[in-house]
C-alpha cells in the first residue's frame, strides 16, 4: 500500500513539472486572391511548447510563416509540410505573417496565462 501511494505521488509530481505541448495544424488557403493561414488566430498557454504543422495549399507557390517575437521563420513549399516549434514563454498578442510577400497571410498568436 505504501509503495502504491509513493508511486502515485511520483506520478502526480512528475505531472506538475511536465511541459505541456500544444500541437496545431495551419493550412494556407487562397480565396479571391487573398491568402491566409487558417486558423488565423491560434491560442496557447504560457509555458507550453507549441508545435505548428504548416501545410501550403495555394497554387501561387511558396509562402513564408513568421512569428517575429519567437524567432520563428520558415518557407513552406506547396505540398511539403513544415513543422515549427517554439516555447510560449511570454503572455501577449503577437503577429504571424508571411515574410516573403509582405502584407498578406497575416494572423495572430494569443498566449494566455
Residues within the interface to Cu ion (CB under 5 A)? 63, 98, 100-101
Residue carrying C-alpha cell 519567437: 70
Kindly tell me the sign of the dihedral angle through the C-alpha atoms of 20, 110, 112, 90.
positive
Between the CA atoms of 97, 99, 104 and 110, what dihedral angle is there, to the nearest 10 degrees? 10
CB 85 within 8 A of CB 91: no
Phi/psi-derived region of residue 79, left when phi > 0, alpha when psi is between -120 and 50, beta in every other case = left
H or E segment and range at residue 53: strand 49-56
- Residue 18 Cβ, how far from Cu ion at the closest point, in Å? 36
Residue nearest to Cu ion (CB): 98
Amino acid at each position: 500500500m505504501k509503495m502504491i501511494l509513493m508511486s502515485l505521488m511520483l506520478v502526480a509530481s512528475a505531472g506538475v513539472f511536465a511541459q505541456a505541448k500544444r500541437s496545431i495544424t495551419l493550412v494556407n488557403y487562397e480565396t479571391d486572391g487573398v491568402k491566409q493561414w487558417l486558423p488565423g488566430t491560434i491560442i496557447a498557454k504560457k509555458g507550453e511548447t507549441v508545435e505548428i504543422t504548416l501545410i501550403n495549399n495555394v497554387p501561387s507557390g511558396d509562402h513564408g510563416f513568421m512569428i517575429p517575437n519567437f524567432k520563428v521563420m520558415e518557407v513552406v513549399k506547396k505540398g511539403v509540410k513544415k513543422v515549427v516549434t517554439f516555447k510560449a514563454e511570454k503572455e501577449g498578442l503577437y503577429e504571424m505573417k508571411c515574410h516573403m510577400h509582405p502584407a498578406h497571410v497575416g494572423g495572430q498568436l494569443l498566449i494566455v496565462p
